[in-house]
Chains A and B, each alone.
Chain A
Amino acid sequence: MKDNKFEPKILGIFCNWCTYLAADLAGVSRMDYPSNIRIVRTMCSGRVDPQFVLWGFKNGADGILIGGCHPGDCHYIEGNYKTLRRYLILKRILREMGINEKRLRLEWISASEGEKLQRVVREFTEEIRNLGPISEDRAFKLQLAEHKK
């Protein structure tokens, strides 16, 4: 990683059927993107428990990207709609916790969209890089201090 510039840690939680395959396709097509992202696979984006996100932030993620199938394309009929609902609520919770809600992003990326995956990961990494480390989020800092007591 480059010196003096902040390199964020990014967690990707991708569904098995669309976004994980898009990341495979990006690989096969040799589309490079920043190495900050670490990808974890679930069968459906609907398996993403909001607590996974909170756990991710607690364990040092500066940004979390959830990837699912496009609306109407879910392998499990409608799991991604449930993801969307949880995501919107989760963003509010993050806001209230003093975490910049931009640190969490949900994207629909289908198995054929290797290019979109590359673009989204590049954008998101850059965005989080500009936001700085999560420990700089004011309230999060306070909470961490609280936690340490």
Chain B
Amino acid sequence: MDKIKGNGEIRVGVYICHCGTNIAGRVNIKEVVEFASKLPYVVVSREYKYMCSDPGQELIKNDIKELKLNRIVVASCSPHLHEHTFRKACEDAGLNPFNFQMANIREHVSWVTKESKEATEKAKAMVRAAVYRVVFHESLERKSQEINPNVLVIGGGIAGISASLVVADSGKKVYLVEREPSIGGHMAKFDKTFPTLDCASCILTPKMTQVKDHPNIELFTYSEIEEVDGYVGNFKVKIRKRARYVDVEKCVGCYACIEACVYKEGKFPDEFNEGLSKRKPIYIPFPQAVPLAAVIDPATCIQFLSGKCKRSCQQACERGAIDFDMRDEIVEVQVGAIIVATGFKTFDPSRIPQYGYGRYQNVYKSIEIERLVNSSGPTGGEVILRDGRKPQSVGIIHCVGSRDKNYNIWCSRVCCMYSLKLAHLIKERTHAEVYCFYIDMRTPGKGYEEFYHKLMEEGVHFIRGKVAEVTDWAITPEEEGKLVIRVEDTLIGVVRRIPVDMVVLAVGLEPQPDADEIRRLLNISCSKEGWFLERHPKLAPVSTFTDGVFIAGACQGPKDIPDTVAQAEAAAAEALSLIDRKKIELEPNTAWIDEEKCSGCHICIGLCPYSAISYNEERKIAVINEALCKGCGVCVAACPSKAAQQRLFLDDQIYAEIEGALL
């Protein structure tokens, strides 16, 4: 504190926020206000119920004008929440916004401290640290940078499709990248959607076609993100277009190549049908695929395995679309914003051995039943067992892999509703007796509870209880040849054995297995479960902590189609709102070199991860290119002569803050 620079009289205003009872309930505000008023340079110290409210901000603005304050400290919540609010208030009152410092006495004090006395003491220390620091603050200019108007969307499920269309319709260019050979995602596999029983492909396919035909959307299927460089407004993205061995431009999806394949019948599990049917090495994922083009799977194609195929597919193609020499291609695009919509994966029920998936052939996962009931599925929409029989009785087990601390603790949100939908469809197609085994029925949503009531009226049996096991061990003649579901019916308090022909496991939703790689590529965070983390769970649900990167759909957490679409369109709106600003103001926390002090030792140059520092041979000093500097401060910490400094994080500021925190 003693080495304060002579930059005029310093007049600090301190404002302590009650945050309703969030802070005031634990911290003795009066005591902190009194304490702050006695700190050096403090001219005024006040309290208010909600500092972030209009009257709270007015308080600051008036004081700046009337008391000629030139430094402001607000002790309230995390700077991640309201730093910009209060900086703006300072700016509105004519004070440079960087003469502001926030003390986090909510997240870091009142919410994590049990004893009121301790919380008050800690709050005082945090306020003192902020006051000591703010004294060393200085006015700074924000630099602005132009924003590239293009948008990258990662993931071509319903979330990615919806987001792409909104952005593209506004006239902006969209690059849509999908890993699979066709867009459509999980939704393309469904027959009907709950609770309206809309035909999924009737509502999805037109959107997929729109994507294909849209002049502003460039579609990359069978492609993945290789590298992301840059920052908000100016991302450089490398996309790996995997070789599909069929030229998408030339292929018209006539199936001639597939018919001509040396394999007369499909031999390999069809991914789109969840392995319930077989495909050939050359295939079109599904009849409504976009792009409607064949793809060759090199892991099963004889030409790739032995090089000795007669290549009848190539001969059959009149348009010469098949190219066995195709290589992966790297395409680089530049975008201003990125929307991540990479979706989810379904829980693998073989992890719960007592449910018999993989052991009993008549135990299915729900996503397989989605294909069975689908009229374009492997059975043409007929619900039949693997031996061709029609099931007389079907048991649907809810919460498989969800709400279970042994697997996933979360509720997957969609399983109750899709189980009801499947119960309805199975009953409609087979007239079987259908039993639903549930822990709790969770049907919040427009028309959802009504759908549940409809199902009860249809005569579906609802048994409340977590299923203990699925077994083929019959103990009565009626159970012979059937699967027996053992469950405690908790509504009547007895253990029951329900024999059925078919068991459906309502599997939960999990993060994609490679979500962690995407997270690293984009520098965003995941929750501990592996879902992408939003900036704020309520007020910034599609933003991330990395500016310019937005998230939508089930990659952020389990959600149904209406919520996914709503979130995707919100992400699109956020991206557009960013882009239409045309310019972005950058946080001025960049580093610079004090030429007088620099000895030209080169230490900082090798440390900079962005190669922003170069050596000026003529003047024998290091020079920082501030356009490249991202403001990490690594060079500043290393400079032996203190020539490198970082704005907003000057040594003096941090020393003062540490001193204030510990005094």
A32 with B114: CB separation less than 8 A: yes
Of the residues A31, A38, A42, A46, contact of B661 by C-beta under 8 Å: A38
Interface residues of A (CB under 8 A from B): 1, 9, 11, 17-18, 20-21, 23-24, 26-28, 30-33, 35, 38-44, 46-50, 52, 55-56, 59-61, 72-73, 75-79, 82, 86, 110-113, 115, 118
Residue of B nearest to A23 (CB): B108
Of the residues A24, A52, A82, contact of B658 by C-beta under 8 Å: A52
Instruction: List, in ascending order, chain B residues with CB within 8 A of A28's CB.
Output: 107, 111
24 CB < 8 A contacts A-B: A1-B118, A1-B121, A11-B662, A21-B525, A24-B80, A27-B106, A27-B107, A28-B107, A32-B112, A35-B112, A35-B118, A38-B122, A40-B658, A40-B661, A43-B649, A46-B632, A47-B633, A59-B659, A60-B662, A73-B520, A76-B609, A82-B607, A110-B525, A118-B112
B330 nearest CB across to chain A (Å):
21
B270 nearest CB across to chain A (Å):
37
Residue of B nearest to A62 (CB): B662
A46 with B545: CB separation less than 8 A: no
* 7 extra interface residue pairs, beta carbon distance < 8 Å, beyond A21-B525, A28-B107, A30-B111: A32-B114, A43-B646, A47-B646, A47-B649, A56-B662, A59-B662, A82-B607
Residue of A nearest to B636 (CB): A47
Residue of A nearest to B133 (CB): A40
Bound CA–CA A89/B420 (angstroms): 62
A115 nearest CB across to chain B (Å):
8
Chain B 379-396 per-residue mask, 1 if CB under 8 angstroms from chain A, else 0: 000000000000000000
Of the residues A35, A60, A82, contact of B634 by C-beta under 8 Å: A82
Instruction: List, in ascending order, chain B residues with CB within 8 A of A59's CB.
Output: 658-659, 662-663
B125 within 8 A of A: yes
Instruction: List, in ascending order, chain A residues with CB within 8 A of B489's CB.
Output: none
B637 with A48: CB separation less than 8 A: yes
Pick out which of these stretches binds chain A: B196-204, B215-223, B456-464, B526-534.
B526-534
Residue of B nearest to A9 (CB): B662
A76 with B637: CB separation less than 8 A: no
B129 within 8 A of A: yes
Instruction: List, in ascending order, chain A residues with CB within 8 A of B552's CB.
Output: none
Bound CA–CA A118/B546 (angstroms): 25
Instruction: List, in ascending order, chain B residues with CB within 8 A of A32's CB.
Output: 112-114
B298 within 8 A of A: no
B654 with A52: CB separation less than 8 A: yes
B609 with A77: CB separation less than 8 A: yes
B523 within 8 A of A: yes
B602 nearest CB across to chain A (Å):
15
Residue of A nearest to B102 (CB): A41
Of the residues B80, B108, B525, B607, contact of A112 by C-beta under 8 Å: B525
Instruction: List, in ascending order, chain A residues with CB within 8 A of B646's CB.
Output: 43, 47
A105 nearest CB across to chain B (Å):
16
With A11-B661, A21-B545, A48-B637 known as contacts, the answer to whether A79 contacts B523 (CB < 8 A) is: no
A11 nearest CB across to chain B (Å):
6
A44 with B634: CB separation less than 8 A: yes
Bound CA–CA A48/B637 (angstroms): 6
B78 within 8 A of A: yes
A72 with B637: CB separation less than 8 A: no
B107 with A23: CB separation less than 8 A: yes
B654 with A33: CB separation less than 8 A: no
Instruction: List, in ascending order, chain A residues with CB within 8 A of B122's CB.
Output: 35, 38
B644 nearest CB across to chain A (Å):
10
B607 with A41: CB separation less than 8 A: no
Residue of B nearest to A110 (CB): B525
Residue of A nearest to B654 (CB): A52
